[in-house]
């Protein structure tokens, strides 16, 4: 079983979401889960959103490409992109090596603090288990 | 038993099952104005012997005609070895070589093609070809849209009217559905070029790309450097649309302006593909390395296997349709493996120097004819500036009728611009390649002068339609 940290939120489309503070403001950091990177295999290219662009929840905002597939990343919370992980552009394998740390994708200033649509670690683990058959 | 796939009863049963009254009902959903009811000159039904006879007769009409038509499809000498080698069993299969372990020869050939095409265009990468020149331009435009930011609300593409009219139609058909504004840019009536001052009239900075045809549809050379720098200054991408053969003489897109064009595309037919009633041809698409992930279609890469030996594989395929389905970079990136094989062999046989000689000979022949025609009363050279191997003349007589008369003298005298550029009047687009001799050129110019002079006298004589290749 892949690593699913308890303290994070998750989306059905395999993004993880972490609440963070930046300059006394509540923001969120988004990445893809250990399970997702494991399914994709070695990542070779990442396309990140433009800073200051805004997205609805569930809207495509990035693309991760591995040796065998390219997958869309969906913005899990409506908001505005305030920071992207530029290190990934040079070194996409950071996502494989450290999906919850150095492999983060982007940070969002949420328009809406309602996180109830997101999954808890337990709910996400159950979803992953139900997909594996 | 004769070969009859469906009896009348079969057909009636099938129609009854689906509730259609007759066969014509099946086509009802096609709007009436789009249905081609009567095809001119095609008899309704013939048996095999009658059909062969008719086809031989029609094929004979084309025989021994001297072709001075270009307009996107060019007659060049193709060494016999080109199709002899291309037709070998090892090359003849057109199947995309997904299975690298069984396709090393085909893959290596495609890799060589990409290397040749990228160096001809002075760009970093080439794909392994597309369907034809028009769809290659549409794909180049779609690429430019993907390369510029997605959040841009309205994307605008500048399409000079000096681009082949058919290509502009293809772009409208394919790209028109993407909520993109396609802006046509008029050309200078004096020079046949796209002018910066005309471009400046397009308001706003929100420009995605400018297409730069070189040479343009009139055979005229555009100021590619200035146009490239202009669109770059506006924050857009420069797309070169070029005749690959002319690249042996002209500055390639990768070297235009300060930074070079970003994407280059074109029709590959001039390189070893015969004229055949409009196809099959193939499309060229090249780009700078930074845009390679938006380059649609098959791309072959060179790598090493587990033992360190060189091998070739399809690469960057994660965004292609066999993996990404509807979200692929393109879903119409048909490639033309066989024609690319012929082109690669053609380029290998000629080499850079041979290609250059073909291009120079074509240019010199066209220049000679232009000079001869300029001396004839009743013929005006419409655009006097530098050209590659095509030019436009204006007549004081109806251009279409003159072409029909010339055809009777076994000369296909050019492409009438009347339908596609009515504002130019009675104009012909004339092409001369290396296939013509000085005598051919002399004969054409004499016959044209004669036809023009005698036109008024013979006007009353009934005309018969003559088929030309466009």
CATH number (domain holding residue B451): 3.90.1150.10
Please work out, in degrees rounded to the nearest 5, the angle formed at the alpha carbon of residue B40 by the alpha carbons of B38 and B42: 90
Q: Are residues B319 and B395 in the same domain?
A: no
Q: Are residues B71 and B91 in the same domain?
A: no
Q: Are residues B243 and B386 in the same domain?
A: no
What pairing do the DSSP bridges indicate for beta strands B156-160 and B209-214?
Answer: parallel
- Taking alpha carbons only, the member of B312, B282, B285 closest to residue B296 is B285
Say if B28 is an interface residue toward chain A (CB within 8 Å): no
Q: What is the ipTM of this complex?
A: 0.76
d(CA B319, CA B303): 20
Phi, psi of B152, deg, nearest 5: -60, 115
Residue B466 lies in a domain: no
DSSP 3-state of B300: strand
Say if B81 is an interface residue toward chain A (CB within 8 Å): no
Average pLDDT estimate for B398-403:
95
CB B68, CB B444: distance < 8 Å = yes
CB B130, CB B282: distance < 8 Å = yes
d(CA B279, CA B290): 32
pLDDT at residue A81 in the model:
96
Chain B residues with CB under 8 Å of A74 CB are none
Average pLDDT estimate for A13-30:
93
| % of residues, chain B, pLDDT over 70 | 94
- Asked if A72's CB is within 8 angstroms of B327's CB, the reply is yes
Q: What residue numbers bound the domain in which B20 lies?
A: 8-62
Longest dimension (CA), chain A: 45
Chain A residues with CB under 8 Å of B320 CB are none
Question: pLDDT confidence of B460, banded at 50, 70, 90?
Answer: very low
Q: Are residues B232 and B256 in the same domain?
A: yes
Average pLDDT estimate for B182-195:
96
Q: In the sheet that A9-10 helps form, which strands lie side by side, from edge to edge?
A: A9-10, A15-22, A25-32, A106-110, A79-84, A54-55
pLDDT above 80: residue B432:
yes
Host H or E run for residue B311: strand B310-314
Give per-residue pLDDT as tens, B140-175: 999 999 888 655 667 899 999 999 999 999 999 999
As given in the structure block, the two tokens for residue B375 are: 């001396």
Q: Are residues B188 and B308 in the same domain?
A: yes
Give per-residue pLDDT as tens, B60-82: 877 678 999 999 999 999 999 99
Of A53, A69, A72, the CB nearest to B318: A69
Phi, psi of B148, deg, nearest 5: -85, 160
Q: Are residues B291 and B402 in the same domain?
A: no
Q: Are residues B45 and B169 in the same domain?
A: no
d(CA B356, CA B259): 25
Which positions ≥6 away from B346 have C-beta within 8 Å?
A: B78, B79, B82, B271, B272
- Taking alpha carbons only, the member of A26, A50, A48, A40 closest to residue A105 is A48
Q: Are residues B293 and B252 in the same domain?
A: yes
Question: pLDDT confidence of B334, banded at 50, 70, 90?
Answer: confident
Q: How far is CA B262 from CA B123, B190, B268, B350, in A?
A: 8, 29, 19, 28
- Asked if A72's CB is within 8 angstroms of B318's CB, the reply is no
Say if A51 is an interface residue toward chain B (CB within 8 Å): no
pLDDT at residue B469 in the model:
46
Cis? peptide before B215, omega within 30° of 0: yes
d(CA A23, CA A19): 13
Host H or E run for residue B337: helix B337-374
Local structure of residue B176 (DSSP, 8 states): G
Of A53, A65, A72, the CB nearest to B318: A65
Q: Are residues B130 and B194 in the same domain?
A: yes
DSSP string, B383-423: --S-BSSEEEEEESS-HHHHHHHHHHTTEE--EE-TTT-GG
Mean per-residue pLDDT of chain B: 91
Residue B469 lies in a domain: no
Question: pLDDT confidence of B328, banded at 50, 70, 90?
Answer: confident
DSSP 3-state of B290: helix
Question: pLDDT confidence of A1, banded at 50, 70, 90?
Answer: low
pLDDT at residue B466 in the model:
46
d(CA B236, CA B223): 17
d(CA B460, CA B470): 26
Average pLDDT estimate for B173-202:
94
pLDDT at residue B402 in the model:
96
Residue that finishes a domain, picked among B295, B321, B345: B345
**How many domains does chain B divide into?**
3
- Taking alpha carbons only, the member of B390, B367, B174 closest to residue B265 is B174
Q: Exposed, middle or buried, B177 (CB in 10 Å: 0-12/13-18/19+)?
A: exposed
Lowest mean pLDDT among B416-425, B427-436, B452-461: B452-461
- Asked if B293's CB is within 8 angstroms of A45's CB, the reply is yes
- Asked if A65's CB is within 8 angstroms of B319's CB, the reply is yes
Q: Are residues B438 and B317 in the same domain?
A: no
Secondary structure of chain A as H, E, C letters: CCCCCCCCEECCCCEEEEEEEECCEEEEEEEECHHHHHHHCCEEEEECCCCCCEECCCCEEEEEEECCCEEEEECCCCEEEEEECCHHHHCCCHHHHCCCCCCCCEEEEECCCCCCCCECHHHHHHHHHHHCC
Which residues sit opposite A29 in a β-bridge?
Answer: A18, A107
d(CA B258, CA A28): 42
pLDDT above 80: residue B187:
yes
Q: Are residues B72 and B45 in the same domain?
A: no
pLDDT at residue B1 in the model:
54
How many angstroms separate the CA of residue A61 from the nearest CA in chain B?
A: 9
CATH number (domain holding residue B97): 3.40.640.10
CATH 3.20.20.140 given to domain A9-128: no
Q: Are residues B219 and B323 in the same domain?
A: yes
How many angstroms separate the CA of residue B317 from the nearest CA in chain A?
A: 8
Which residues sit opposite B263 in a β-bridge?
Answer: B239, B287
Which of A63, A70, A106 has the highest number of chain B CBs within 10 A, making it the mutation to test binding with B? A70
């Amino acid at each position: 079983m892949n690593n699913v940290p308890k303290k994070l939120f998750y989306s059905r489309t395999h993004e993880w979401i972490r609440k963070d503070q930046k300059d006394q403001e509540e923001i969120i950091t988004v990445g893809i889960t250990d399970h997702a990177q494991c399914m994709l295999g070695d990542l070779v290219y990442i396309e990140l959103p433009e800073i200051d662009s805004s997205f609805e929840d569930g809207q495509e905002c990035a693309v991760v490409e591995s040796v065998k597939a390219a997958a869309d990343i969906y913005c899990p919370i409506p908001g505005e992109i305030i920071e992207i992980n530029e290190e990934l552009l040079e070194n996409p394998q950071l996502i494989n090596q450290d999906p919850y740390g150095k492999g983060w994708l982007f940070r969002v200033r949420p328009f809406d603090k309602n996180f109830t649509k997101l999954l808890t670690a337990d709910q996400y683990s159950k979803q992953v288990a139900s997909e594996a058959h | 038993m004769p070969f009859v796939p469906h009896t009348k009863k079969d057909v009636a049963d099938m129609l009854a099952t689906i509730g259609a009254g007759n066969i014509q009902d099946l086509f009802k959903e096609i709007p009436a104005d789009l249905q081609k009811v009567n095809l001119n000159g095609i008899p309704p039904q013939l048996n095999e012997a009658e059909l062969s006879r008719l086809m031989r007769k029609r094929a004979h009409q084309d025989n021994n005609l001297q072709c001075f038509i270009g307009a996107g499809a060019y007659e060049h000498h193709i060494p016999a070895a080109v199709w002899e080698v291309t037709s070998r069993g090892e090359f003849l299969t057109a199947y995309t070589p997904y299975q690298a372990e069984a396709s090393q020869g085909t893959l290596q050939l495609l890799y060589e093609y990409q290397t040749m095409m990228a160096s001809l265009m002075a760009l970093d990468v080439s794909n392994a070809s597309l369907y034809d020149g028009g769809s290659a331009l549409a794909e180049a435009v779609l690429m430019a849209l993907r390369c510029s930011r997605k959040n841009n609300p309205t994307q605008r593409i500048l399409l000079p009217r000096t681009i082949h009219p058919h290509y502009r139609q293809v772009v409208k058909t394919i790209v028109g559905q993407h909520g993109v504004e396609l802006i046509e840019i008029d050309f200078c009536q004096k020079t046949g070029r796209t002018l910066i001052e005309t471009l400046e009239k397009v308001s706003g900075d929100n420009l995605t790309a400018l297409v730069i045809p070189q040479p343009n549809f009139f055979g005229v050379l555009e100021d590619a450097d200035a146009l490239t720098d202009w669109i770059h200054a506006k924050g857009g991408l420069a797309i070169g649309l070029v005749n690959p053969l002319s690249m042996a003489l002209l500055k390639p897109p990768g070297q235009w302006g300060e930074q070079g064009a970003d994407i280059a595309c074109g029709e590959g037919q001039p390189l070893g593909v015969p004229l055949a009633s409009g196809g099959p041809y193939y499309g060229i698409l090249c780009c700078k390395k930074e845009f390679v992930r938006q380059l649609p279609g098959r791309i072959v890469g060179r790598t090493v296997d587990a033992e360190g030996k060189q091998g070739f594989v399809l690469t960057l395929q994660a965004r292609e349709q066999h993996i990404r389905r509807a979200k692929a970079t393109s879903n119409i990136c048909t490639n033309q493996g066989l024609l690319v094989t012929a082109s690669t062999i053609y380029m290998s046989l000629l080499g850079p120097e041979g290609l250059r000689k073909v291009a120079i000979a074509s240019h010199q022949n066209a220049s000679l004819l232009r000079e001869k025609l300029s001396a004839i009363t009743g013929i005006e050279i419409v655009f006097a500036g530098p050209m590659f191997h095509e030019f436009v003349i204006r007549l004081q007589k109806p251009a279409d009728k003159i072409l029909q008369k010339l055809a009777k003298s076994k000369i296909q005298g050019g492409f009438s611009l009347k339908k596609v550029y009515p504002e130019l009047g009675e104009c012909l687009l004339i092409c001369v390649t290396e296939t013509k001799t000085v005598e051919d050129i002399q004969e054409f110019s004499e016959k044209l002068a004669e036809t023009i002079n005698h036109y008024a006298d013979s006007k009353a004589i009934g005309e018969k339609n003559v088929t030309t290749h466009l």
